[in-house]
Structure 1
Amino acid sequence: MNKELIINSLTSEVEIALVENNKLVEIHKQKTSNSFNVGDIYLAKVNKLMPGLNAAFLDIGKRKDAFLHYTDLGPKLPSVIEYTKQILNKTPGYNIHGMDLTKEIQKNGKIQDVMDKKTLLLVQILKEPISTKGPRLSCEITIPGRYLVLTPFSNAVTISKKIVNPDERKRLQVLIESIKPQNFGIIARTAAEGHKVADLHDEITALELKWQTIQDNIDEAKGPRKVLSEADKTTSILRDFLTDDYHHIAVNDKEIYSNIKSFMSNIAPDKLKIVEHYTGKLPIFEHYGINKQIKASFGKTATMNSGAYLVIEGTEAMHVIDVNSGPKMSKSEMNNTALTVNIEAADEICRQLRLRDIGGLIVIDFIDMKNPDHKKALNNRMIELMEKDRAQHTILPLSKFGLMQITRERVRQALTINTDETCPTCNGSGKVQPTILLTDEIERDLIYLLTNKSISKVNLSVHPYVYAYLMKGLVNIRVKWYFKHKKWVNIRQNSNFALTEYRFYDVAEDEIRFT
């Protein structure tokens, strides 16, 4: 599979398009003024405990408080609070390596039993603000790298489930345990597979330096504040996505281009040659066909090659996707090809979920199938396709009504792009001037031409609908104009005209202008 990353830098935001086999599969946007990024780490203060919700609202130094639920505290919360307290108190020689990890909290406890109002602690942005809600927090801090993820206040070593070779899993487990710093857990990402101890050791050292930055910023803090920023969107996507499948990265901004080259020289120096600074005349998204794909993909309907299409509707609580066979397929064909259409729809649905970043509950109404084997095949295909999706998800089998339910992790607001264009005829109002009034307007201009300009012959071009109205009947409007003004008007139709557009031309076919 060929993959590309196309980066469009604008004044107010950066747009990042992920393309697989020339097909747009994800688009990410990062506003330059964005206050919150998933992964940012803050020193926070508890503002309000909400026992009814088993949650708390925390001040993180921003205008809007952030939300922390008990289930996001993590078992090591007492260690997090104790560490934060000791660093703020500037206890000499205190650091995470030498501290004793305290007893874990109960899985189903109450928030008022584990923290008080005004408690200071480290938190991480888990979800960006959605609608009117503030950001959601977690106390389970993670510092991700290219190959490994550092998890403070833990000593567990976990290997990605996507690494399936048992010998490689064992090798990584033994290797990481031998180089792991005290009181830091490690998660080996899929990208760690096959890498030498030197690569992994270097990354652990780099991640430890980030933790030291957090400690230094806490030490200097006088209140809630950000203590570590997540890498910008472009760098974090490169860190998480870059594989051997990528053959091209194009960016239209010199500064971002330099940052990418610098980042790539550290994590994948052999891939430097695939990075291009785009300087063409056309906008970068237009040059690579991204704009056209956005226009085709973000409407209410999404059409597939067979003529079948999806109708996608969403609310804050859930999204509903309806699969339609399209007008080209008869009922007799549908009995035989329902599975084929549903399989094609499954592929497009998985793409749309990633592209629009749709989260929460998704209900899909597939075309009805009677054959149990066909239902099983569709369910298996959906599971296979969704393996490409990084967001956590659960897929339930088809119900007896032909409905499939999917839950997908919602980290940020679903991406919506308005692909509608303002109608040039009605200017977006949805209404046009009545034809009967249009003919009055044309006649007024005609009278002006005949009385104020010495024109021997008048040609009138109009939209085909208006032409049909003017020429309707034996004694049509053109004949009435002749009897009234003693001048024959040659009327022509032009399908390129807007409905209410008309123009006059003289005998030399030059347009007659009224200004």
Structure 2
Amino acid sequence: MINLTPRETRVALVENGVLQEIHLERAQRRGLVGNIYLGSVRRVLPGMQAAFIDAGLERTAFLHVSDLQRDASDPAPPIDQLIREQQSLLVQVIKDPIGDKGARVTTQITVPSRYLVLTPSSCGMGISARIEDESERARLRSIGQAINEQSEGGIGQVGLIFRTAAEGACAEEISSDREFLLRLWDSIGKRAASAQPGTLVHEDLPLYQRAMRDLANRDLERVRVDSHEGYQRLLEFCSDLLPHTLERIELYSGERPIFDLYGIEDEIERALARRVDLKSGGHLVIDQTEAMTIVDVNTGGFVGHRNVDETIFKTNLEAAQAIARQLRLRNIGGIIIVDFIDMNDPEHQRQVLRALEKSLDRDHAKTQIGEVSALGLVEMTRKRTRESLEQLTCQACPNCDGRGTVKTAETVSYEIFREILREVRQFESQRIMVLAAPSVVETLLDEESTGLAHLEEFIERPIELQVETLYAPDQFDVIPV
């Protein structure tokens, strides 16, 4: 489902009637992954084996020595022997800016199309590990070798990788893809040769076209677009690159918004909540932090019908499937710690891990899953290239500054008492004016009324309270008058 508006594009991937992925792109915050820039080396940091690159972005980009183009068979020399300050480099963004961190870039450029990825910095041929059938891998390898031999000069100094979508593709489609990539790389090289440092040389496709290129596999049943102009642009794009998808693209012209019709808006709202309810009655609690994401599994109201071990096992199995979906849906990356309910049976642990791995098979992002630790935790990582759904759509709460908690009215009341004593000692006054949130004033007049009266008697001045509806729960002012 593709929802297009002038300022925002949203793409939803629905499998078996269930939302699996949601992708957002806004006009003011377009993703940078895949973009190619002519950058200038701003600083080289030998101690970090890294450099900061000025690519004309808001913040300097980060380049690690492992992302520098070089012979992979040789050990990496110190970075200051490979590049120098003020040097111009052609770099590609591999990770969007997240939080206060700038984009991460590489000089190992890759240019993808439908079936192939061009790798100009290395020669040779590769095949996606997701294509597991050995006979299909052999067929693709022979097609690649034949195309290489038939082409004048062969692949030369560029390499090719067969994408997962190449499975089942014919030789003509693959050859056409290769020619398109070579022409595109030639035009990129010409633009880079005449560009100034800090210039965008090649911009990746807009989200809805990128989604068609990357997500439209052989299992694709339908693509529904709710914009007539976007529908026409998508048809033009697919007629050249994805002709087999043309008959599956539909224009949705109904009065009801397309995301409302399929319940996607409600799913997005639920994907921003901490708690995820399971059908069995158990639930997940998902907490995203800057360092990692924690997923806690709870039985909740599920008591089962047999023994405790079977109840826990069933809840953990359901949780494993739900966790895999939530990671895709929320686009959570980085380090993830899953606290399954403790299982005593090693076979139960193995089956739960296998269920988690199987549920992640369809995830386009690379994941690695560890064994169950001595503390019953499962450590895993998921490749992070773009901001998560929460990072894209939410900001830190102005009341708690992202902590997730605010001080209680009782705590704020005692802070006010201490502040009053400080003010009385420092300034001459006839009375004390306290400005605070409604909940705090209510607490001072109710539960803390005795303490307030004793304080008035102690400082020998009246204390007046004034409600400020716009104040945060822990915000107050004490004014000597």
The TM-score, its normalising length taken from structure 2, stands at 0.78
Q: Choose which of 69, 72, 82 in structure 2 pairs with 1:74.
A: 69
> How far did 1:382 drift?
1.3
Correspondence 1:10 to 2:10: no
Tell me, what secondary structure is at the counterpart of 1:129? coil
* Distance in 1 between residues matched to 2:308 and 2:230, nearest whole Å: 50
In the superposition, relative to structure 1, how do residues 310 and 235 fare at CA in structure 2: closer, same or farther (>3 Å)?
A: same
Larger radius of gyration: 1
Correspondence 1:317 to 2:277: no
* Distance in 2 between residues matched to 1:418 and 1:57, nearest whole Å: 29
* Distance in 2 between residues matched to 1:430 and 1:220, nearest whole Å: 63
Q: Choose which of 350, 359, 375 in structure 1 pairs with 2:324.
A: 350
**Aligned counterparts, 1:268-283, within 5 A:** 268-283=242-257
CA contact (8 A) 1:46 1:57 kept: yes
Deviations 1:43-85 (A, max 9, x none): 1111111112111111112332111011111325xxxxxxxxx
* Distance in 2 between residues matched to 1:179 and 1:286, nearest whole Å: 47
In the superposition, relative to structure 1, how do residues 274 and 330 fare at CA in structure 2: closer, same or farther (>3 Å)?
A: closer
> How far did 1:169 drift?
1.6
* Distance in 1 between residues matched to 2:77 and 2:136, nearest whole Å: 38
> How far did 1:26 drift?
0.8
Deviations 1:243-289 (A, max 9, x none): 23222211222222112112222344343232222222222211221
Q: Choose which of 197, 200, 203 in structure 1 pairs with 2:174.
A: 200
> How far did 1:184 drift?
1.1
* Distance in 2 between residues matched to 1:227 and 1:105, nearest whole Å: 30
**Aligned counterparts, 1:466-485, within 5 A:** none
Q: Choose which of 193, 201, 215 in structure 2 pairs with 1:227.
A: 201
**Aligned counterparts, 1:364-375, within 5 A:** 364-375=338-349
Q: Choose which of 281, 285, 293 in structure 1 pairs with 2:267.
A: 293
Q: Which residue of 2 aligns with 1:152?
A: 120
Matching residue's letter, 1:306: S
Q: RMSD of the TM alignment (CA)?
A: 2.5
> How far did 1:10 drift?
2.9
Q: Which residue of 2 aligns with 1:359?
A: 333
Q: Choose which of 366, 369, 380 in structure 2 pairs with 1:392.
A: 366
**Aligned counterparts, 1:451-462, within 5 A:** none
Q: Choose which of 377, 382, 399 in structure 2 pairs with 1:408.
A: 382
In the superposition, relative to structure 1, how do residues 301 and 122 fare at CA in structure 2: closer, same or farther (>3 Å)?
A: same
Matching residue's letter, 1:26: E
Q: Choose which of 202, 205, 214 in structure 2 pairs with 1:240.
A: 214
CA contact (8 A) 1:150 1:186 kept: yes
Tell me, what secondary structure is at the counterpart of 1:397? strand
Q: Which residue of 1 aligns with 2:109?
A: 141
Q: Which residue of 2 aligns with 1:45?
A: 40
Q: Choose which of 95, 99, 111 in structure 2 pairs with 1:127.
A: 95
CA contact (8 A) 1:43 1:225 kept: yes
Count residues in correspondence. 397
* Distance in 1 between residues matched to 2:116 and 2:14, nearest whole Å: 25
Matching residue's letter, 1:129: P
Correspondence 1:20 to 2:15: yes
**Aligned counterparts, 1:92-111, within 5 A:** 106-111=74-79
CA contact (8 A) 1:213 1:227 kept: no
**Aligned counterparts, 1:484-495, within 5 A:** none
Matching residue's letter, 2:145: E
* Distance in 2 between residues matched to 1:41 and 1:273, nearest whole Å: 33
Matching residue's letter, 1:290: I
* Distance in 2 between residues matched to 1:120 and 1:258, nearest whole Å: 39
CA contact (8 A) 1:299 1:418 kept: no
> How far did 1:340 drift?
1.1
Q: Structure 2: state its 5+ residue gaps.
A: 149-154, 396-436, 446-481
Matching residue's letter, 2:130: K
Tell me, what secondary structure is at the counterpart of 1:247? coil
Q: Choose which of 27, 43, 49 in structure 2 pairs with 1:54.
A: 49
CA contact (8 A) 2:69 2:121 kept: no
CA contact (8 A) 1:252 1:284 kept: yes
> How far did 1:162 drift?
2.1
Deviations 1:99-151 (A, max 9, x none): xxxxx684332110101111112110010000011110011110111111110
Tell me, what secondary structure is at the counterpart of 2:180? helix
Q: Structure 1: state its 5+ residue gaps.
A: 1-5, 77-103, 420-428, 438-515
The TM-score, its normalising length taken from structure 1, stands at 0.73
> How far did 1:378 drift?
0.9
* Distance in 1 between residues matched to 2:217 and 2:257, nearest whole Å: 27
> How far did 1:418 drift?
5.7
Matching residue's letter, 1:294: I
CA contact (8 A) 1:36 1:125 kept: no
**Aligned residues with identical type, % of pairs:** 36
Tell me, what secondary structure is at the counterpart of 1:15? strand
Correspondence 1:163 to 2:137: no
